[in-house]
């Protein structure tokens, strides 16, 4: 028996053992079906390539936006005027905003010890508000440092949030100075009554306790002043970034507080 006959016999034997499926027989006869299958494969491949390319394009845009944001932050930190003009030119990054904001403020814990000295905070406050004297500034800063230490709150975060909310105690927003409300508690569009506190001392404590309510499940250490303390979902916002999502509609709220902390740190100890 020749080699050719042997190969033919093997092929016939294999066809008997492994008969062709109905699909294979159909594809051999139906050229239209073959083309449809090929077109589907081609369409799937092009869709995959487009989606992958779009991903890299978006990733590139995000990197470019992050660089622009970092450059802007450096300029804002170096700016001599903080709120009057610099923040008005903070850029917006459209579709990239969400991913950029995910990383902003995550490293700043609300509970903990601050690193800014009293002298830095006093000098910073006086540099931005020439209407108050050094004695008043010192008294105010001391209240924040003391209340924050007793409640276990980061005084860097609390003090700079106050600077943002009150415009460095200029009170040029919707909260007047006689309310002793240094964090805008209860002050939102459509609110009927903004929270009022009888003294500067109690207003500072209310602010500190309000932060603690968001950042911790621990009870207040000082006599309770913040009326909303137990109405807040306790421990729901341990970081600045998480707090900003609940505290303000401003998408750059946490970024602005971070910039204020960095600006305050520029002043000598």
Residue 253 sits at φ, ψ, to 5 deg, of -60, -50
Q: How far apart are CA 224 and CA 7, in angstroms?
A: 95
What's the average model confidence in pLDDT over 150-174? 93
User: 10, 43, 78: which is the final residue of a domain?
Assistant: 78
**Of residues 90 and 220, which shows the higher confidence score?**
220
Q: How far apart are CA 147 and CA 137, in angstroms?
A: 16
User: Residue 256 — pLDDT band, cuts 50, 70, 90?
Assistant: confident
User: Are 65 and 118 within one domain?
Assistant: no
User: Are 104 and 142 within one domain?
Assistant: yes
Residue 83 has pLDDT above 80, yes or no: no
User: Residue 89 — pLDDT band, cuts 50, 70, 90?
Assistant: very low
Look at residue 14 and tell me if it is in a domain. Answer: no
User: Are 166 and 62 within one domain?
Assistant: no
Question: Smallest Cα–Cα separation from 116: which of 147, 78, 156?
Answer: 156
67 three-state secondary structure: helix
Map tokens 């004297």 to a residue.
133
- The whole-number pLDDT of residue 17 equals 62
Residue 201 has pLDDT above 50, yes or no: yes
The tally of domains found in the chain comes to 2
User: Are 189 and 107 within one domain?
Assistant: yes
User: Are 33 and 150 within one domain?
Assistant: no
Look at residue 85 and tell me if it is in a domain. Answer: no
- The whole-number pLDDT of residue 85 equals 41
Map tokens 């860097």 to a residue.
156
User: Are 100 and 225 within one domain?
Assistant: yes
pTM of the model: 0.69
User: Are 71 and 100 within one domain?
Assistant: no
Half-sphere exposure of 41 (CA within 13 A, CB side): 6
The rounded radius of gyration (Å) of the Cα atoms in the chain is 32
Contacts of residue 175, Cβ cutoff 8 Å, sequence gap at least 6: 165, 166, 181, 184, 187, 194
Look at residue 18 and tell me if it is in a domain. Answer: no
Q: How far apart are CA 153 and CA 160, in angstroms?
A: 13
Look at residue 15 and tell me if it is in a domain. Answer: no
* Integer angstrom CA distances of residue 158 from 8, 59, 81, 268: 88, 35, 20, 20
Look at residue 132 and tell me if it is in a domain. Answer: yes
- The whole-number pLDDT of residue 248 equals 85
What's the average model confidence in pLDDT over 199-217? 97
User: Are 45 and 103 within one domain?
Assistant: no
Longest Cα separation, the chain: 115
| pLDDT tens sequence across 47-66 | 776 666 655 556 666 677 66
User: Are 207 and 240 within one domain?
Assistant: yes
- Are the C-beta atoms of residues 135 and 123 closer than 8 Å to each other? no
Taking the alpha carbons of 17, 23, 26, 31 in that order, is the dihedral positive or negative? Answer: negative
User: Are 72 and 157 within one domain?
Assistant: no
Look at residue 172 and tell me if it is in a domain. Answer: yes
User: Are 167 and 61 within one domain?
Assistant: no
Look at residue 6 and tell me if it is in a domain. Answer: no
Look at residue 16 and tell me if it is in a domain. Answer: no
Residue 227: which CATH number?
A: 1.10.530.10
User: Residue 153 — pLDDT band, cuts 50, 70, 90?
Assistant: very high
- Are the C-beta atoms of residues 229 and 209 closer than 8 Å to each other? yes
The neighbour count for residue 43, using CB atoms within 10 Å, is 10
Read out DSSP for 215-228? H--SPPSSPP--TT
| pLDDT tens sequence across 94-129 | 444 555 555 555 578 999 999 999 999 999 999 999
Range of the domain at 49: 24-78
User: 58, 78, 98: which is the final residue of a domain?
Assistant: 78
**Of residues 118 and 35, which shows the higher confidence score?**
118
Residue 183 sits at φ, ψ, to 5 deg, of -130, 10
User: Are 73 and 183 within one domain?
Assistant: no
Percent of the chain with pLDDT over 70: 65
Percent of the chain with pLDDT over 90: 44
- The whole-number pLDDT of residue 132 equals 94
- The whole-number pLDDT of residue 207 equals 97
């Amino acid at each position: 028996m020749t080699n050719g006959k042997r190969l033919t016999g093997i092929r016939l034997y294999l066809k008997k053992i492994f008969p062709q499926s109905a699909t294979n027989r159909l594809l051999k006869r139906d050229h239209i079906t073959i083309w449809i299958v090929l077109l589907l494969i081609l369409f799937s491949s092009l869709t995959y390539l487009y989606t992958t390319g779009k991903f890299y394009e978006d990733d590139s845009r995000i990197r470019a936006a992050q660089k622009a944001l970092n450059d802007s932050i450096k300029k804002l930190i170096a700016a001599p005027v903080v709120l009057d003009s610099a923040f008005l030119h903070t850029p917006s990054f459209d579709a990239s905003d969400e991913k950029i904001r995910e990383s902003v403020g995550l490293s700043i814990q609300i509970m903990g010890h601050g690193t800014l000295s009293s002298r830095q905070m006093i000098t910073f406050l006086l540099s931005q508000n020439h209407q108050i004297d050094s004695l008043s500034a010192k008294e105010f800063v001391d209240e924040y440092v003391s209340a924050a230490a007793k409640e276990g709150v980061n005084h860097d975060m609390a003090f700079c949030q106050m600077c943002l909310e009150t415009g460095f105690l200029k009170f040029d927003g919707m909260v007047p100075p006689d309310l002793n409300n240094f964090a805008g508690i209860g002050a939102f569009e459509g609110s009927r009554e903004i929270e009022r506190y009888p003294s500067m001392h109690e207003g500072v404590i209310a602010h500190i306790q309000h932060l603690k309510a968001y950042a911790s499940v621990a009870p207040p250490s000082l006599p309770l002043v913040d009326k909303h303390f137990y109405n807040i979902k306790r421990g729901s916002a341990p970081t600045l970034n998480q707090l900003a999502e609940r505290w303000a509609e401003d998408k750059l709220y946490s970024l602005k507080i971070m910039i204020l902390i960095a600006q305050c740190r520029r002043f000598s100890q």
